[in-house]
Structure 1
Amino acid sequence: MTEAELTLLLTVAKRVHPSFSVEDEFTFGIWFELVSEVPFEVAQANLKEHLRKSDYPPKPASIVGDYFNKSEMSVYDQQALEQKELMLSIETPENECVPMPDAVERAIDQLGSRMSVGRFGGDELDE
């Protein structure tokens, strides 16, 4: 949020609460430092909600709301995100299945023919 946007929010708050004042530069600087990382749209919505529900003038926490708390993920959400990213990385075109090389298929056939129980290749179902 910019200083101009904060000025707009504080002006709205002053219109609703005429005794509310953040006119000196020092106090404005403190407010700006506390709320500057919050996007204007979020701050505006938080101020609107505060003014609807409270009889008291806003504080910086009223404008920040739970913006910073929402960015922290729970362990469950973090694990779900990691699992989703893993699944997306597995499902890439370079990981698609390719036919088995002929040399590998012949080696498997030779190993199967040496075993006392034959290799199951599907032909046994027809007999």
Structure 2
Amino acid sequence: MNIREIEYITIPVSNLEVSLRFYHEVFDLRIVDLPNGDKGADLRKMFLDFHLEDRVDHPISFGLIAKDSMAAIKAHLINYFVDIVDEPTTKTEVRRKVNSITILDPDQNRIEVNEFR
């Protein structure tokens, strides 16, 4: 088997409208209807699948890659009053250096926003 990409990530959400607004406004993602009946966000090669739950007991963690500078990313998050849980840091990933900032969505799902250098 030769896996090349991730097709989707399922994100548990307790309030669909709040989550759709968050991901659309903060990340400028297009909201789409998925074949399974869920709403999703289009990331071109993959989807975020928003799965409605009564209550999110087990938030997930995932990373996104942004093309903006870290200074622009942080300013944008502050302008949208997003909870920043880890300030920007520089680290070495498998093949390159990356600047990362970690935030929480409305259901406490942890999102690392990365700027690769």
Bucket of the pairwise TM-score, normalised by the shorter protein: under 0.3
- TM-score, normalised on structure 1? 0.20
- TM-score, normalised on structure 2? 0.21
Looking at secondary structure, tell me which structure has more strand per residue.
2
